[in-house]
Amino acid sequence: MKCNSIHKNLIFYLDGELPPQEMEDIKNHLSECKECVAFAEELQKTQAILAAEKSVEPNPFFYTRLKAKMEAEETVDSAPRWQQAWVKVLQPALFSFLLVAGVYFGSKIGKPEPINVAVANFADEQVIPYLNEMDTEPIEAFLME
């Protein structure tokens, strides 16, 4: 038999789930092939680890801790009605009101003021003369000199 076919059936061999003829063939091959024997030993170790992990012992104090947590939850749920109403109704209403008020005042603050015509004319008078001088000194004439 080839080692590939042995490796495929080795788990079934170790569990004893193969027909007797195949069990005998694999047993004969393992007596001759040291690589397959090493692979079978590693596979047995892995199965032992998995079996140990499957059999987890339950914690003896699990039930008492679970019961204590459930009783603590019951005391939390027995809060006064006004507190339950605050959490379920008033708190979202307050946050909604604050959101609307924030948007309203933000839009009022962000509106530009009406333009004062006198201030606008003053700014135009100071900026426009500098812009008009640009026509008298083109950049090309400056670079050509």
Domain membership flag for residue 131:
no
Q: Report yes or no on 94 lying in a domain.
A: no
Distance CA(10)–CA(47), nearest Å, equals 12
Counted domains in the chain: 1
- pLDDT for 3: 82
Q: Model-level pTM greater than 0.75?
A: no
Q: Does residue 81 belong to any structural domain of this protein?
A: no
The token duo for 92 is: 């979202």
Residue 106 located in a structural domain: no
Structure tokens at 81: 């009605």
pLDDT tens series, the chain, 145 aa = 588 888 888 888 888 888 888 888 888 888 888 888 888 889 889 888 888 877 777 778 888 888 888 888 766 556 677 777 777 888 889 999 999 999 999 988 887 766 655 555 655 566 555 555 555 566 666 666 6
- Tell me phi and psi for residue 33, to 5 degrees: -105, 115
The pLDDT tens digits for 60-92 are: 888 888 888 888 876 655 667 777 777 788 888
